[in-house]
Amino acid sequence: MTPPRARTWGLRGHTPVVRVRGRSRRRISVAALCCYKPGEKSRLIYRPRFHLPFKGARKSFAWTDYRDLLVRAHIQLGGPIVVVWDNLNTHRTAGMKKYAAEHDWLTVFQLPPYAPDLNPVESVWSLLRRGPTANTAFEDPDHLTRTLRRGLRHIQLQHQLVDGCLAGTGLTLTTPTPPENLSNHQPNTMPAHLELNSSRGR
């Protein structure tokens, strides 16, 4: 619950102090998908999760949480999807690989081992750190949750911000050209949306 510091000030010779009301073992994780399709507005789909403050309780997303997020995105976007995400160990579990192999609407690609500069969702976290969560001492987990939801909703409604997250990576979207000389060519079955995923815990 320690707030990120975007800017502050203090008397010369005195170290500025940001006071926080106590500590908490409760933890909040957020996973997000930046969704892009040529010719359509970009989308941001996110899923926050409260982790229970019990001893031994999981404090991060399980692979089933990512699966549920992908299913939700599949329903909202109304078509097959290609997911490009980082090498988080939860993304590479046997359960996640098995689920992807069993569902033809889902295609998964892994980014290189450490490449945050290629993931647009990293810019989403940057926008949150420099925006609604900056210079804020959260009173309790509910205050943090409300702030995160409000900030993510703002980004979600500003399509140009989601576009900017992709532009910051230097990557572009391309549309495949179907073969011209195949009379029995199958309909274009390329996934409808490209999604890039990342998660962040607090």
Secondary structure (H, E, C), 8-45:
CCCCCCCCCCCCCCCCCCCEEEEEEEEEECCCCCCEEE
The reported pLDDT for the residue numbered 81 is 92
* Cα dihedral 122→5→55→90 (10° resolution): 10
Residue with tokens 């690989």: 97
Are the C-beta atoms of 135 and 9 separated by less than 8 Å?
A: no
Residue 58 has pLDDT above 90, yes or no: no
Phi–psi pair at 152, nearest 5 degrees: -65, -35
| Unique residue bearing structure tokens 């995923």 | 197
pLDDT at 137 over 80: no
Stronger pLDDT, 171 or 37, i.e. the higher one: 37
pTM over 0.85: no
- Domains of the chain are 27-173+194-201 (3.30.420)
